[in-house]
Structure 1
Amino acid sequence: MTTEAPLRRATTGTLDYYLLHAAAEDVQPIGLLVEEFVLADDLSATRLRSAGWTAAPVAATGHLGVEPLDGGWWSSAAFARAVRTDRQLRARLAATDRATAEATYHRLGGGALPGDEALRDHFHDDVPLASGAPLRLGTGTDVHRVLFAGELDDRRLERLSRQLRLAAPVDPPATRPGVIGTGRLRVNDTNARWDLQRVGGAWCIDVTSTPPGRDALRWLLRQLTDLARGQGLVPATIDRLG
């Protein structure tokens, strides 16, 4: 795939990695969280799959709200939901890449971090994601919304805006008052634009592609989501709006 991509870095794979800390102020992590969104053919999210690993019994390092409390791998839909609703719990996570996850897992005594397929074997308690009928906004145009949990202070907002290469919003402020800025990209024959937006107290990135190109859109959604994760936002779902 040839691209004119202005994005900061490329991401491979579909798994999201987080370092897990016993407390928000701790420097050294106690484990990992690994997640993956299962996407439908239209690239909307249908399920969130999640598994955590802690090097020692959770009771010895602070209660995480998961069962069992033994060290090792565990999967908890309740924990995955809590990450997206509990600010204090979310502050104990730090998005990371596969290489750092591997090094952390090894340093904490886990050995070699399993590959993606083996990690998926630890996903036992999925979170189903509701997907309503898409809102049709026009022929030949797809709009996908990545909704995030979390907050952006001025510093993180400025950094994310720069990484997303945002310019002034395309739409008039009265039409979409929460839009911070708009980025653009052409991937093969697909023209894409994305808007960083504040909606109902949450952050989202709306991605418009014309004409819809599934491979290009999948790649772009992944890149944009990863950049937002790097600034402390946690993806909650992906909806197809039109």
Structure 2
Amino acid sequence: MSATSVTSSAVTSAFDYYLLCPAGAPIAPLGLLVEEFVLAGDLSATRLRTAGWTPADGGWWSSAAFTRAVRADADVRARLRAVTRADAEEVYLRLGGGTLPGEDVLRGHFRDDVSLATAAPLRLGGGPPVWRVLFAGDLDNGRLAGLRTALRLSDGTGPGVAGSGRLRVDDTTFRWDLRRVAGGVAWCLDVTAEPAQPDALRPLLRRLTDVVRRHGLVPATIECFA
């Protein structure tokens, strides 16, 4: 089973890791970016925490402005390459950082968080709750095809739906739709679980997000629609 498979049993990191690359040269990393979403009890995101490491800047830094720019500016986003923690460890060592600290230690470098809008879940009427993971960025045809395969999507129906997936685990049925939103300038995953159990959904939601991230989109927030 591949590292990006939806059904992989591999342990998924709590953090998102990216290589920081110079403009126009995405294969020559200059450092790392590490991110973590802080989730409420209903799995909606309340904060986005970020820390960067670049030896040229003297070590670890944290910038809410840079975090926002990654989501808003395609040129800034193009400097990132999503990687696994193992890849981040290798680059950190190669660039002179030594052994990459554990995630509990890395949290100490999160100093300038981005607060995400929080509100009572939007009520859509009947049906199960929907968890929407919103992503910044776009997909060319090749990346979209690869993502459809990695998410095990069949053809979807509905406005902007690029495909739908389904998984049954014990007595819970999970479904997800990959959808183009915001007038075609962003993407989202709409995920449901029946019965709705946030504890059961949490690991799958994390894994789905990581699969999409590894295909070039950057997660921006997670919302819950009841």
Give the match for residue 64 of structure 1: none
Match of 2:187 in 1: 203
State the match for 2:50 in structure 1: 50
Unaligned runs of 5+ in 2: none
- From 81, 94, 98, give the equivalent of 1:111: 98
What is the alpha-carbon distance in structure 2 between the residues aligned to residue 8 and residue 89 of structure 1?
31
- Structure 1 match to 2:58: 71
- Matching residue's letter, 1:104: V
Aligned to 1:183: 165
3-state DSSP class of the match of 1:121?
A: helix
Partner of 2:32: 32
Q: Which residue of 2 aligns with 1:212?
A: 196
- After TM superposition, the structure 1 = structure 2 runs for residues 81-230 of structure 1, keeping only pairs within 5 Å, are 81-137=68-124, 141-169=128-156, 171=157, 176-200=158-182, 201-230=185-214
Report the TM-score, using the length of structure 1 for normalisation.
0.86
Which SS does the other structure have where 2:109 is aligned? coil
Evaluate the alpha carbon distance shift between residue 11 and residue 231 of structure 1 in structure 2; reply closer, same or farther with a 3 A threshold: farther
**Structure 1 residues 26, 166: CA separation in 2 closer, same or farther (over 3 Å shift)?**
closer
- Using the TM superposition, give the Cα deviation of residue 188 of structure 1 relative to its aligned residue in structure 2, in angstroms: 2.7
The CA deviation at 1:90 is: 0.4
Task: Name the % identity.
Answer: 63
1:71 deviation in Å?
Answer: 2.1
In 2, are the aligned partners of 1:37 and 1:46 still within 8 Å (CA)? yes
> Number of residue pairs matched?
219
Residue 119 of structure 1 aligns with an amino acid whose one-letter code is L
Whole-angstrom distance in 2 between the partners of 1:43 and 1:32: 26
Deviations 1:130-168 (Å, cap 9, x if unpaired)? 023322345672210000001100000000001111112
Bigger radius of gyration among the two = 1
Distance in 2 (alpha carbons) for counterparts of 1:150 and 1:11: 26
Unaligned runs of 5+ in 1: 1-5, 57-69
TM-score norm. by structure 2 comes to 0.92
121-130 vs 214-223, greater mean Cα deviation: 214-223
Residue 12 of structure 1 aligns to which amino acid in structure 2?
T
Q: CA separation in 2, counterparts of 1:24 and 1:212?
A: 44
